[in-house]
C-alpha cells in the first residue's frame, strides 16, 4: 500500500483561510470535469477530482496523498522514465503524451496526459489532465487490424477492384486490376476509368459508366475494357457507392471479373446456333417445296389414273404422311417465329381463326369425317390474338382427328367469357383415347431439358403452348369425364378478352410505355424485372407498350430520350438501370390513383 506523508498540523492564518475557501471553490469547479484532473507537488498527489478517482477505481479521499509513481504502470516507469519526469519539477516545452496507469485492482488502462506548471501555496506544482483512452484505443486498434485484413483480401482478391472518385477517377487499384489491364496501379491512379472503355457512346461500357457515375448500383453487367497492349478484354462488372448516404456523393467501388474465355465460348456457340438456324431455315424451305411437289403429283395421279385398291391405299397413306410432314415443318417455322419475333397481340375475332383451323384439319385427314358442335360465331368472342392463333386451334382439332378411333369424329367446341369478362375460355371436348395423368403437363413440352419432354407426338401441342403463352394466356388438358382418363380429353384455352374499357381514360394506348433498343445493355434486365412485377401484382402485360427505338417506324429516336431504357409509368419517367424496388413503387403508385388524380409531376 502506498505511503502517505504527514500533513502540517499548524493552525491556519486568516490569509490561509481565504486561500482555503478559494481552493474549495476551485475544487468544486474541477469536480465537474469529465476528465481526470490531478495536482502533483513533490511527486505527491495533493489534489484529485472524482473523475480521476473513478478512473483508478479508488475512493477520492484515498488518491490524495499517494505518490504518482505508485499510479504509473511498472513497465512504463522502467522503460519510459521520461514520462515520470513529466509529472514532477519544472520542465520546459511540455507536451501531451501517452502512458498507462495501474488501477487499484491491478488492471492497466491507457491514458492521454497533458501537464502544465502550477503554483500551489507558493510552491511549484504540476497540474495534469488525464483522459482514459482505453476503449477508443481498442477500437482504433481493431479498426487498424480490420483495415489490414481488408487490405490483404483486397490485394489477394482474384477480382479486379478499383476505388473511384464520384467523377470516375481511379484512386486505388489492386493486383488483379494490374493483371487485368497490364498497368501498374500507380500508373492507373489519377486516370478516369473511362480511359479504359471504348469511346463509342452507345457501347455497353459507356452505358454502364453513365449509370455508375449516377451512383447507381450495378450487378452482372458485361462490358469490354482495354488492355495496355490495345486489345479489349471482356469483363463482368459490379459497382456501387461506398457510402449509404445518398445525400452526398461518395467514392465508388468498381469490380471486374475477366470472362474472356467464357465470352469466346459463347460467341462460338452463338455462331453455331446461327449456322444451325440457317441450315434449318434452308432445309425447311426445301422440304416444303419437295412436299408441295409431291402432294401435287399425288393429287394429279389420283385424279387421272384409276389405281388398284391396294396401290390406291398406299398413295392415300403417302399423301397423308406428306401433309403431316408439311405440318411439322410449318409448326417448326411458327415456333421459331414466335420465339424470335412474336407478333404483337391485337384485337382478334375467334371465328375466322376457328373456321380456318376446322377446314385445314379436315383437309389434312380426309379419311375421317369431322362433326363439330360449337357456339363460336362471327363477332361473338373477341380476345387478344395474332396470326398464329388459328394454328393453336388447328393442332388441337388435328390431334382429335388423328387419335380418335372412330371414322366420324365428334368434337364439341364451346367458348364463354370467364373471370368477370376479363378472359375468354375455349374448350375442345373429344371422345378419343384420353391422356394419362402423368402426361397431361408434358404433352405440351417438346422443347426444354431432356427428360421433361414428351416424345413421339410431333410439335403440334408444343406450338399450342407457345402460341397461347405469347398471348399471355394458358392452356391445359383435363379428362372429359372427371376421374376417367380413357373417355376422352377436354383441352382448355384461356385468353385475355378484348374490351374497349381496357383503353386508358387519359387516351394513351397503355399505362406503361417502355422504350428500348437492341443495343441497350440494361433494357433486357429492367424489362424482365418489370414483367415480373406485373405478374406479381396480377396485372396483364398488355397495360405496357414496348417501343423499339431502332425501328424506323416507331417514330422515336434514341436521341429524343434522356437514356435507355426509358420507362414512363403514367406520367412518371424512369431511365437507365432502374432498380426493382423503384419499379415496384411506381407501379403501386400508378394503381393507387386514377388517371384524373395523377398530377403532372407524379
Greater pLDDT, 565 or 285: 565
Greater pLDDT, 577 or 458: 577
Q: Give the residue-averaged pLDDT of 326-339.
A: 86
Q: What's the grid cell of residue 200?
A: 463509342
Is 578 within the bounds of a domain? yes
Is 598 within the bounds of a domain? no
**285 alpha-carbon distance from chain centroid:** 42
pLDDT band at 371 (very low <50, low <70, confident <90, very high): very high
**CATH code of 215's domain:** 3.30.450.20
pLDDT 10s digits, 185-220:
999 999 999 999 988 888 899 999 999 999 899 999
Is 152 within the bounds of a domain? no
Q: Where in the sequence is the domain holding 571, given as residue range(s)?
A: 509-592
Residue 464 CB: number of other CB atoms within 10 A? 24
360 shares a domain with 314: yes
Greater pLDDT, 594 or 465: 465
How many domains does the chain fold into? Answer: 4
Is 599 within the bounds of a domain? no
Q: Mean pLDDT highest for which of 117-121, 332-336, 523-527? A: 523-527
pLDDT band at 247 (very low <50, low <70, confident <90, very high): low
What residues are paired with 37 via a beta bridge? 129
> By the 8 A CB rule, do 428 and 491 touch?
yes
pLDDT 10s digits, 400-443:
999 999 999 999 999 999 988 889 999 999 999 999 999 998 99
pLDDT at 86: 78
| Nearest-angstrom CA–CA distance, 396 and 377 | 19
417 shares a domain with 302: yes
Q: What's the grid cell of residue 263?
A: 465470352
| Nearest-angstrom CA–CA distance, 160 and 259 | 12
| Nearest-angstrom CA–CA distance, 429 and 491 | 7
**CATH code of 382's domain:** 3.30.565.10
Radius of gyration of the chain (CA): 43
| Nearest-angstrom CA–CA distance, 546 and 521 | 16
Greater pLDDT, 455 or 458: 458
Is 309 within the bounds of a domain? yes
482 shares a domain with 395: yes
**CATH code of 582's domain:** 3.40.30.10
Asked if pLDDT for residue 449 goes beyond 70, the answer is no
What stretches of 179-318 adopt beta strand conformation (E)?
Answer: 218-226, 232-241, 252-258
Q: What's the grid cell of residue 574?
A: 424512369
3-class secondary structure per residue, 494-555: EEEECCHHHCCCCCCCCCEEEEECCCCCCHHHHHHHHHHHHHHCCCCHHHEEEEECCCHHHC
pLDDT at 598: 47
Q: Mean pLDDT highest for which of 5-9, 241-245, 473-477? A: 473-477
Asked if pLDDT for residue 534 goes beyond 50, the answer is yes
pLDDT band at 453 (very low <50, low <70, confident <90, very high): very low
For 169, which DSSP code?
B
162 shares a domain with 274: no
Asked if pLDDT for residue 332 goes beyond 80, the answer is yes
128 shares a domain with 73: yes
296 shares a domain with 245: no
pLDDT band at 8 (very low <50, low <70, confident <90, very high): low
Choose among 432, 350, 330: nearest CA to 393: 350
459 shares a domain with 536: no
Asked if pLDDT for residue 448 goes beyond 60, the answer is no
Greater pLDDT, 195 or 149: 195
Is 139 within the bounds of a domain? no
315 shares a domain with 227: no
3-class secondary structure per residue, 456-480: CCCCHHHHHHHHHHHCCCEEEEEEE
Amino acid at each position: 500500500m502506498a505511503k502517505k506523508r504527514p500533513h502540517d498540523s499548524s493552525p491556519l492564518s486568516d490569509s490561509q483561510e481565504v486561500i482555503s475557501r478559494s481552493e474549495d471553490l476551485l475544487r468544486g469547479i474541477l469536480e465537474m470535469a469529465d476528465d481526470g484532473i490531478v495536482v502533483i507537488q513533490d511527486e505527491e498527489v495533493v489534489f484529485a477530482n472524482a473523475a480521476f478517482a473513478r478512473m483508478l477505481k479508488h475512493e477520492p479521499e484515498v488518491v490524495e496523498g499517494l505518490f504518482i509513481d505508485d499510479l504509473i504502470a511498472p513497465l512504463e516507469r522502467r522503460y519510459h522514465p521520461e514520462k515520470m519526469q513529466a509529472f514532477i519539477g519544472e520542465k520546459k516545452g511540455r507536451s501531451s503524451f501517452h502512458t498507462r496507469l495501474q488501477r487499484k485492482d491491478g488492471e492497466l488502462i491507457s491514458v492521454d496526459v497533458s501537464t502544465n506548471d502550477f503554483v500551489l501555496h507558493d510552491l511549484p506544482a504540476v497540474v495534469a489532465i488525464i483522459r482514459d483512452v482505453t476503449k477508443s484505443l481498442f477500437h482504433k486498434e481493431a479498426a487498424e487490424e480490420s483495415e489490414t485484413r481488408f487490405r490483404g483480401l483486397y490485394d489477394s482478391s482474384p477480382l479486379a477492384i478499383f476505388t473511384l472518385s464520384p467523377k470516375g477517377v481511379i484512386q486505388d487499384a489492386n493486383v488483379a486490376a494490374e493483371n487485368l489491364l497490364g498497368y501498374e496501379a500507380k500508373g492507373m491512379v489519377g486516370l478516369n476509368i473511362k480511359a479504359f472503355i471504348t469511346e463509342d457512346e452507345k457501347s455497353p461500357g459507356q452505358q454502364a459508366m453513365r449509370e455508375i457515375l449516377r451512383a447507381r448500383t450495378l450487378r452482372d453487367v458485361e462490358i469490354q475494357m482495354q488492355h495496355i497492349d490495345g486489345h479489349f478484354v471482356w469483363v463482368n462488372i459490379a459497382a456501387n457507392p461506398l457510402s449509404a448516404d445518398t445525400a452526398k456523393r461518395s467514392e465508388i467501388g468498381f469490380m471486374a471479373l475477366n470472362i474472356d474465355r467464357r465470352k469466346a465460348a459463347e460467341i462460338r456457340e452463338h455462331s453455331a446456333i446461327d449456322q444451325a438456324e440457317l441450315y434449318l431455315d434452308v432445309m425447311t424451305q426445301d422440304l416444303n417445296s419437295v412436299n408441295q411437289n409431291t402432294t401435287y403429283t399425288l393429287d394429279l395421279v389420283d385424279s387421272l389414273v384409276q389405281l388398284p385398291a391396294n396401290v390406291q391405299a398406299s398413295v392415300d397413306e403417302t399423301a397423308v404422311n406428306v401433309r403431316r410432314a408439311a405440318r411439322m415443318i410449318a409448326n417448326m417455322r411458327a415456333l421459331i417465329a414466335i420465339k424470335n419475333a412474336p407478333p404483337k397481340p391485337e384485337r382478334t375475332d375467334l371465328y375466322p381463326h376457328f373456321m380456318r383451323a376446322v377446314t385445314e384439319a379436315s383437309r389434312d385427314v380426309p379419311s375421317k369425317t369431322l362433326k363439330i358442335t360449337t357456339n363460336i360465331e362471327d363477332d361473338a368472342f373477341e380476345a387478344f390474338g395474332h396470326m398464329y392463333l388459328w394454328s393453336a386451334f388447328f393442332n388441337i382439332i388435328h390431334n382429335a382427328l388423328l387419335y380418335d378411333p372412330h371414322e366420324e369424329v365428334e368434337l364439341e367446341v364451346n367458348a364463354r367469357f370467364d373471370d368477370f369478362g376479363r378472359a375468354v375460355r375455349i374448350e375442345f371436348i373429344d371422345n378419343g383415347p384420353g391422356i394419362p395423368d402423368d402426361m397431361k403437363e408434358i404433352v405440351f413440352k417438346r422443347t426444354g431439358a431432356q427428360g421433361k419432354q414428351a416424345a413421339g407426338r410431333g410439335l403440334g401441342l408444343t406450338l399450342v403452348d407457345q402460341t397461347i403463352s405469347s398471348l399471355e394466356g394458358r392452356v391445359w388438358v383435363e379428362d372429359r369425364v372427371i376421374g376417367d382418363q380413357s373417355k376422352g380429353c377436354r383441352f382448355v384455352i384461356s385468353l385475355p378478352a378484348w374490351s374497349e374499357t381496357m383503353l386508358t381514360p387519359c387516351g394513351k394506348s397503355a399505362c406503361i410505355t417502355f422504350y428500348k433498343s437492341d443495343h441497350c445493355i440494361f433494357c433486357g434486365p429492367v424489362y424482365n424485372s418489370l414483367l415480373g412485377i406485373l405478374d406479381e401484382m396480377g396485372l396483364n402485360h398488355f397495360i405496357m407498350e414496348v417501343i423499339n427505338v431502332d425501328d424506323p417506324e416507331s417514330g422515336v429516336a434514341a436521341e429524343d430520350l434522356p437514356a435507355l431504357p426509358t420507362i414512363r409509368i403514367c406520367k412518371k419517367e424512369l431511365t437507365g438501370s432502374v432498380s426493382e424496388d423503384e419499379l415496384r413503387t411506381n407501379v403501386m403508385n400508378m394503381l393507387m390513383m386514377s388517371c384524373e388524380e395523377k398530377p403532372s409531376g407524379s
